[in-house]
Amino acid sequence: MNRYKSFGAALLFTIAALSAALPGAGGADTSYQMQVAIDLGGEGKAISPYIYGINQSGNQENYNKFTVNAIRQGGNRFTGYNWETNASNAGADWQHCSDNYLSDSSDPADCVQTLSREAAANGIGYKLATLQLAGYVAADKNGSVSEAETAPSDRWNQVVLTKGSAFADTPDLTDGNVYMDEYVHYIIEKLGNSQSASGIQGYSLDNEPALWHTSHSRLHPNPVTIAELHEKSVEMAKAVKALDPDAEIFGPALYGYTAYDHLADGDSSTEWETIQAEKGYHWYLDCYLDQMKQASDAAGTRLLDVLDIHYYSESARVGAEDRVQSVRTLYEAGFAENSWIGKWCQANVPILPTVQKSIDTYYPGTKLAISEYNYGGEDVSATIAQAEALGCYADANVYFASLWGGNEYMFSGINLYTNYDGKGGKFGDTLMPTKTADVSLASAYAAVNGTDQSVVTAMLTNKDMSRQETASIALNHSDKQYEAAAVYAVSGDSADIRLLDIVTDVSDNTVQVTLPAYSAAMIVITDDASDFDGLEIYDPSKVTERVECFEDPESMLNANGYVEIPITDPEHLKEIRLTADVTSSAGSSWAYAGCAVCINAKDAAGNKFWTSKGYQLSLGTGSKAKVEFDGTLENADKETVEAVIADGKVELQKWWDSSAAKEEEKEDIITVKYTRVEVVYSVSDTPSILRGDVNSDGEVTIADVVRLCRYVAEDTELTPAMTEEQLPCADVNGDSIVDSSDITLIARYLAHLVDAL
């Protein structure tokens, strides 16, 4: 009887929880109505297409996952990049290693030529490349540079910004110098100037100079000074403009808020205090803009086209709930985020209007770029933050923005704007005034194409983790009569953009759409309902995958000491999802572990080769990563070929790590302990079953939860017994076991916490 009493209590708890969550079940309402007002009679604002951008670093294998209009080649590696030999230095990111990480080619400027080819192959029009200003670049590819070999030494070549003599067709590799104006000349000769399709449109004045003394202490051991950065920026900009007057200059690529404020610590802080007291600047951005304006006036040409900053949200690191609110720091007066910025830096919040005020005051006409940003997250919170950020960038007149790194959820946040239907459907190019009643619950941005209001695209987010949202969208001051709306959204446990609904009951130019809990959606509203003819609404019953779960991966160590995961169906392998606890022996505030799924593969011709797929885990409990497979793998010649895993197993290996302590050159051991591995296989032939429909009545309801609870509890009074046809419906998560996890998943589905079974 004890077993049945426990079962009964659990069942009553489940039913009570669902009753409280489901609409019309006698409990609290699971939805709320959000009022959204789009003023189509208001003043439109042109949206720069270059805010939909990506950083090249780490994304070479991801071009098929996103649609973007701009790409940046930059990051820490490029501060120590030698264009003559393609050697580069990792700095504190990896043992100050000089190597062929960026390119193993001997062709000068191979990296920028690769950038041009990749951009052309993926339809990316705007290319931003980085020029080296820090003083030295890697002279070889011989591995780690010791502290004793700090520049100047034979491990480094000196950077000379302007050569002062004729450019060589082929750079001299023996003179110990690397000439930056010769680099720009070489690019133009190879690719054309900034106006050509293959050329480089923008040049960045290096990367994060305020961190040179920490990220690249072997080539620039002392903090950069305001005078040094100004002098180098002006000289480099003049050289570029002399060679390619139409190329745009981006600077100074500051790493974050502290650099906006006073550039760098150390001597530059004292220097800043003196300059600030003399000139009355609000923060360092004022100083930089004023100096570049004065230098431009003296040179007779604009030497700074785009003010370039990086932005990594401090509050987004706290967790998902803070992440979906984090973008508000950029645009909302009075909002205080959950971080040190929210506590101590409110004088500059909202940040983007404060930056724009500096531009308007000290160098009017300068454009704004955020060439690195990332709000974090490995779930829909990442999509929500990404979607709101792009809307915010459009509203704040940002000219260029490029996501650093990224995952499928972040890429979907971009694709909602650039390719929401997988067929090139885009957000409009003219932003219209749009308001929601409460941005803490939902944010909204809307656009049309030029002056054509026949189609309105509206980005909406639902930040509530548990409640669906009914959005009432009023299209005000338009002479159009709108007929229908299509809802494309990312929600639940998938990063896929899905067409969830087509609404045809539009009345008085007001559209009501339902958004799942925790979602980001592109609402496409048209004055011609036939625009949506032939579209197929997402049907969760037609989507299946099989998941094999390993709950104790650390018990699966092989003779090599690595976790070894069996792959039972290589031809249908879709992805491997990894969960791990990552710890730092030094107690670092941040740490990363670069890992790889190591594979013995076989191509279509039967040839065997070794390969790997990389992923990154971050400090903390339950760090997650995902590795995708599409039937192709990269072989030893770095060609992508049709291939499968040859020996039915893979190894999980850690290849590198970095942390706050290691950046300060202190000892730190970063440990990765896997707690869960899920191997996901696609199912090519979809069975005609409705997952979760345990009682075979054609729908998924609380009755199915009750029946499944009784089955799992081995209730012998279950009548009738579950049939062989019903068991696949009960195996909701596809792991070939019917247990309490299937009950939980159905319950989450009924409570609208996931949108598919």
Strands 452-462 and 519-526 turn out to be antiparallel
Do 611 and 505 belong together in one domain? Answer: no
SS (H, E, C) 124-193: CCEEEEEECCCCEEECCCCEECCHHHCCCCCCEEEEECCCCCCCCCCCCCCCCEEEHHHHHHHHHHHHCC
Give the end of a domain, one of 682, 715, 731: 682
- Among candidates 256, 283, 403, which has minimal Cα distance to 341? 256
Q: Please, which pLDDT band fits residue 28 given cuts at 50, 70 and 90? A: very low
Residue 757 resides in a domain: no
DSSP 480: -
Higher pLDDT, 24 or 498: 498
Angle ∠(324,435,30) on CA atoms, nearest 5: 55
Do residues 529 and 569 both lie within one domain? no
Residues 402 and 450 in one domain: no
Q: Do 513 and 568 belong to one domain?
A: no
* 125 and 187 fall within a common domain: yes
> Is the same domain home to 352 and 377?
yes
Question: Which one from 208, 408, 548, 663 is the annotated catalytic residue?
Answer: 208
Judge if 581 and 462 occupy the same domain. no
Does residue 543 register a pLDDT over 70?
no
Q: Report the C-alpha gap between 158 and 151 in whole angstroms.
A: 9
Position 423 in a domain: no
pLDDT digits (tens, 9 = 90+) for 371-421: 999 999 989 999 999 999 999 999 999 999 999 999 999 999 999 999 999
Give Cβ neighbours of residue 725 (< 8 Å, ≥ 6 apart): 689, 696
Angle between helices 284-299 and 226-243 (to 10 degrees): 40
For residue 724, give the CATH number of its domain: 1.10.1330
pLDDT score, position 754: 64
Q: Nearest 5°: phi and psi at 402?
A: -140, 120
Which of residues 622, 654, 682 is at a domain's end? 682
pLDDT above 60: residue 686: no
In a domain, 424, yes or no: no
How crowded is residue 228: how many other Cβ atoms within 10 Å of its Cβ?
19
Indicate whether this model's pTM tops 0.85: no
DSSP 8-state symbol, 508? T
- Nearest to 291, CA basis, from 243, 234, 331: 234
Based on the number of CB atoms within 10 Å of its own CB, is 326 exposed (0-12), middle (13-18) or buried (19 or more)? buried
pLDDT recorded at residue 9: 47
Q: Is 727 a domain residue?
A: yes
Question: Greater confidence, 655 or 691?
Answer: 655
Tell me the residue length of the chain: 757
Asked if residue 280 is part of any domain, the answer here is: yes
Query: Is 208 a residue of the active site?
Result: yes
Question: What is the mean predicted confidence (pLDDT) over 464-487?
Answer: 94
Q: Dihedral (C-alpha) 582, 584, 590, 592: value to the nearest 10 degrees?
A: -50
| Res 5: pLDDT | 45
CA 247 to chain centroid, in Å, comes to 27
Going across the sheet that includes 143-144, the strands are 88-89, 97-99, 143-144
The CA–CA distances, whole Å, from 273 to 226, 279, 280 equal 11, 10, 10
Task: Give the Cα separation of 5 and 11 in Å (integer).
Answer: 10
414-434 in b/e form (b: 16+ CB < 10 A) is bbbbbbbeeeebbbbbbbbbb
Q: What is the mean pLDDT of the chain?
A: 91
* Rounded distance between C-alpha atoms, residue 747 and residue 494, angstroms: 17
Looking up residue 79, the CATH number of its domain turns out to be 3.20.20.80
> What number of other Cβ atoms are within 10 A of residue 709's Cβ?
21
Assess if residue 428 is contained within a domain: no
Q: Are residues 240 and 382 in the same domain?
A: yes
Dist. CA 434–CA 227, nearest whole Å: 44
Write out the residue range of the structural domain in which residue 89 sits.
Answer: 49-418
142 lies in a domain? Answer: yes
Condensed to tens digits (0 to 9), the pLDDT of residues 192-214 reads 999 999 999 999 999 999 999 99
Judged on CB neighbours under 10 Å (0-12, 13-18, 19+), 535 is exposed
Quote the CA–CA distance of 209 and 308 in Å, as a whole number.
12
CATH classification of the domain holding 454? 2.60.40.1180
Are residue 442 and residue 387 in the same domain, yes or no?
Answer: no
Q: Do 261 and 114 share a domain, yes or no?
A: yes
Direct distance between the N- and C-terminal alpha carbons of the chain, in angstroms, rounded to an integer: 33
How many domains is the chain built from? 4
| Cα distance between residue 579 and residue 584, in whole Å | 17
End residue of a domain, out of 682, 699, 720: 682
| Shared-domain flag, residues 664 and 692 | no
CA distance 724 to 708: 14
What are the pLDDT digits (tens) for 596-640? 999 999 999 999 999 999 999 999 898 999 999 999 999 888 888
pLDDT tens digit sequence for 337-381: 999 999 999 999 999 999 999 999 999 999 999 999 999 998 999
In a domain, 513, yes or no: yes
88 and 200 assigned to the same domain? yes
DSSP assignment of 279-314 = H--SSHHHHHHHHHHHHHHHHTS-S-SEEEEEE--S
